[in-house]
Amino acid sequence: MDSLARELASEKCVRCAKLPDWKTAALIYMGSKLDYFYCYQCRRWFVRDAKYRYATSNLDEPDAIRRLLAILKLRREMVETQIEGVHWIWGRLSDAGHFLWKFIKWGSARRP
């Protein structure tokens, strides 16, 4: 989770970001009413109201954090499955290309 937050950090943490341009929190999940952020510096969660961007509160509910992590895991698995599908299709196209190339070379070798 820390590496994802480091890569996607776009917000200041409500607890630990004291420097002006020090962004340590990443938007992990955007809900209809609340946006969920994770800070890699203090390793804690906070939520922000989607309508009122300045209102924040700590997220200290273990059940909510587990649900967020389950959603992230499901999304990661979906992306990995899509990547596997793309690799499979690419492999079939590559095999077809090799076959056609051999067929073209074989046909040109038979011409007088």
Taking only the tens place, the pLDDT of each residue in 32-75 is: 788 888 888 888 888 888 777 775 777 877 888 888 888 888 88
Q: State residue 68's pLDDT score.
A: 81
Percent of the chain with pLDDT over 90: 1
Average confidence score pLDDT of the chain: 79
70 close to 36: Cβ distance less than 8 angstroms: no
pLDDT(111) > 60 = no
As a whole number, mean pLDDT of residues 77-83 equals 89
